Every structure is written in C-alpha cells, then in structure tokens.
Structure 1
Amino acid sequence: MVVENTNEQITAQEENKELFGQLTKRNEQYMMSLDKALIAGNISEEKRVIIYNEMLKNLINGQKSGQTARQIYGTVTERTNDLLASPKDNDTGRSEDWKIMLDGGLLMGAMFALITGISAFIGSGQGSEMGIITMILNFIIGGFVILLISKNLPNKNKGKKGNTLRYILVSTSGMLGWMFIMTASMALLPSSINILMSAGVNIAIGVTAFAAKMYFKRKLNIRGGLF
C-alpha cells in the first residue's frame, strides 16, 4: 500500500509539472502565491500535490473559456482559508498539546504580567508582589490550565452526557489550582529566591509575551486553543 501511494504521489507530481506549464501567467502567479500560503499553513507536500493536481486540471479547462483562477476559486486568501478549514486537508482541527500549551501559557502569562505591572505603576509605583519564580510558574501553569480547559470544551464532545458539567468542573478546579499555586509561591518563597520585579519589568514581559503569542500562533498555525 505504501509503495502504491508513493507511485501515485510521483505520478501526480510529474503530471503537475506538465500541467503547470500550460497555465497562463496570471494563473501561474496565483498558484505560486497559493503554494506559499499553504506552506505557511503547514499543509504537507503530499496533500499539496493532490490539491494542485485537481486545481490545475480545473484551471486548464477554465482557461479554454477565459476563466481565471480567481474567478474559479476566489482570491488566494479565500482559497487558502477553504483548504485549511477542510477536514480532508487538515487531519485534525486541533494542534498538538504542546502548541496549545505554549499559546495559552504566553497569553495567560502576558495578561497576568500586564495587569500586575499596570496596577503597580498606577498605584504606589513600587515593585510588584510577583517575583520571578512566580512569573515563570504563571506561564507554565497557565498554559497547562488552558490546555485542560480546551480539551474539555462542551462542543468538543458532542453527544456525551455530562460534558458540560465536566467542562465547568475542569475549568473551575483548574483556575482555582492555578491561583492557589501562584498565591502559595508568593507567600512561601523568600524574596531572595523569588526576586520581586518592578512595574516596568512586568509590563515589558507582558508586551513581549503577547507579541510572542501572536508570532507563534501564526508561525505554528496553532489551532484548538481558547483564544
């Protein structure tokens, strides 16, 4: 079966090369732009070959009547979104757990750092109560809690009784556990280890973490998180 699939893959690749040479300049540019977009969207080469094989045949047929790729498939962005949303071309609608944890951790860490920093800045202007170890724990535990919550969203388990109740229990216990660990670290760890950070440092960490969240979400095409 593997050999058969490989042979089909090679045949489709060779056919695509021949078909691509028959495209008009406008359609050729469309396909090149689409290829870049799908690569950025983490669509595997095997799937792209199959997608292009079907599209190229349709485009060449459309060229006979003067149709362009945009008229047939819409803009490159629209076609890309359709393919990324298609179950056929996206094995799962959800990224790996570590990606969701990374995305959630950066978001929660950024929010907590910004809130703490801004509160301290507006208030007395003194160092915040959150130390460096607490900050690190916030990123890690926050990401883990977001991962748990995302895995138990009610619409992820349609047809299963009690999934809404489970979601409420998991999200509530997760958030309470998160806050307990954060509070305990601030209360129990000495300031010589859990070094307090100024408002400006907290704000800078928050902005950087949020920028990193946006970058990795797009770069890794992270799907399945809460935000």
Structure 2
Amino acid sequence: MSENKPNARPRNADVHQNRNTVATNERTAFDNLGLTKRNADYMFRFNKALESTKLSPDKKAAAVQAMVNELVEGQKSGKTAKNLYGDVASRVKYVVEGPQREAEGKVFGGPDYWPNMVYNALTFFMIFTLLFGVMYLFSPKLMKTSSPVGITAILVSALVAGFLLPIMPRLFDPKIKHRFNGWIRFLLTLVGFAVWMVLFYFAQLLPPAINPVLMPWPSIIVGLLSIAAMIWIRRRYNIRGGFFG
C-alpha cells in the first residue's frame, strides 16, 4: 500500500498571508485615528491608491495627515470623506496634479467679480474720505493752502480701482489659462494703472460745482458709512482677503 502524502502547501501562501496581515493592520490604523468606519475605509483606499503614484513620501504623508485632520473635524458636523473629496480616484488626481486650471476667459468676470469690484471700490473710497476728512479736521488751513481732492474725483478713482484690482491678481494666476504671455499681461497692468491715474487727474480738474470738496466731518461720516457697507458685502458674499480679513 502506498502511503498518503500530506497535502502540499500552496506556493506563495505565506506571501499572501503576510500581505493580508499588512492590509488589515493599515486598515486598523485608520480606525484608531478617530475616524468613522466609512471615513477610515475611504482613507485606507486613498492611501493605497496614493502609494502607486510618483508623489514623494513626504508629500504623501502630509496629504494623508491633512485629510485625516480635516475629516476628524468635519465628522462633528456630519461630513464624510465622500462629501468633502468626491471619489478616491478624483481625490488622488487632485493631490497629485493640484487644482485644475480654470477655463480661458476667467480673468474678467465670474460670479465673484462684481462683489469684489464693489468691495474694492468701497475700500478706496473709505480710505480717501477718512484720510482727507481727518487731515482737514486737524489742519483746516490745508483746505486753503493745498489743492483738496473733490468727492467726484475720489469716487472716480475708487470705481476704477474697484474695476481693476480684482483683475490684476488673475492676470498672473498660474491656475488660469491665459491668452497672452507674461510680458503682454505686465504691459496691460501698466496700462491699467496709467488709465487710473489719467482719469483721476481729469476728474480733479472738474469745476467745484461738479467736484465739490467735502468738509471734514461729512467726509469722515461718509468714510464710516463705507466701512459699514464693506462689512455687509464681505459677510453677504464671503469675500476673503483685503480689509477686515
């Protein structure tokens, strides 16, 4: 009688077992970070997908840690990884490639342009009215010995500034696809400032009936009202940066 040979152990069985053990440990590690099961599973899958990219280890670790911190905080208000980041593949692409460049033609316009335009115009209007109001209040002789700036000239300057300032940073934003090269955009910036100065100069040449000079206290009051309007616009349209940032 031939003896029955014991069943041979499948090849690579130990390798598969070790891989499963490592995967289980990695999955458990995210569970121990205070994440919900759903968010921990998302981060586990995201981390595995990120490992196959060419991103440096430091950047991978930083991206994972930042997301974990954001998720732990977001869970308090019921947010999930899917809500915050979309699917895993999209998030990996975002982390590796960065934000997608905006479509051409976004330098001017967009839903946030006009609120920013009004906010910037009010900012300049507030600065000049308060500046001249306080200056003439403490030095009344300046209204006679200098060439005080009229309210129309201030308004024109503020409107042009409000129109130009939201555009200037976008002209050099690398996330926007531009039609012109850097030198042309730089020249456009210089032209914009030149137009600003020219319009202010001619507005200041208008007769006093059209370009009256406000007395100190009315100028200060107008400046304070501008601050109130700025605060309202900032809260209403969630404007970032600038004054009251």
d(CA) in 2 for partners of 1:139, 1:225: 15
Question: How far did 1:210 drift?
Answer: 2.5
User: CA RMSD, aligned part only?
Assistant: 4.5
- Which residue of structure 1 aligns with residue 159 of structure 2? 140
The structure, 1 or 2, with the larger RCO (C-alpha pairs under 8 Å, 6+ apart) is 1
Name the CA shift for 1:169/1:204 in 2 (closer, same or farther; >3 Å).
farther
Name the CA shift for 1:181/1:223 in 2 (closer, same or farther; >3 Å).
same
- Which residue of structure 1 aligns with residue 139 of structure 2? 123
In structure 1, what residue type is equivalent to 2:169? S
The percent identity for this pair of structures is 22
Name the CA shift for 1:161/1:176 in 2 (closer, same or farther; >3 Å).
closer
Name the CA shift for 1:161/1:182 in 2 (closer, same or farther; >3 Å).
closer
Question: How far did 1:98 drift?
Answer: 1.1
- Which residue of structure 2 aligns with residue 105 of structure 1? 121
SS in 2 for 1:207: helix
Corresponding pairs, count: 157
d(CA) in 1 for partners of 2:170, 2:211: 32
- Which residue of structure 2 aligns with residue 185 of structure 1? 203
Please tell me whether the aligned partners of residues 95 and 223 of structure 1 are also in contact (alpha carbons under 8 angstroms).
no
In structure 1, what residue type is equivalent to 2:225? T
SS in 1 for 2:207: coil
- Which residue of structure 1 aligns with residue 212 of structure 2? 195
Q: Deviations over 1:83-140 (max 9, x none)?
A: 899999xx98974321121111111211222222233233335657222322332332
What are the equivalent positions in structure 2 for 1:3-82 lying under 5 Å apart?
72-74=72-74
Name the CA shift for 1:193/1:115 in 2 (closer, same or farther; >3 Å).
same
Question: How far did 1:160 drift?
Answer: 8.3
Please tell me whether the aligned partners of residues 126 and 198 of structure 1 are also in contact (alpha carbons under 8 angstroms).
no
Q: Scaled by the length of structure 1, what TM-score is found?
A: 0.51
Question: How far did 1:213 drift?
Answer: 1.5
Please tell me whether the aligned partners of residues 126 and 199 of structure 1 are also in contact (alpha carbons under 8 angstroms).
no
Name the CA shift for 1:159/1:106 in 2 (closer, same or farther; >3 Å).
closer
Q: Scaled by the length of structure 2, what TM-score is found?
A: 0.48
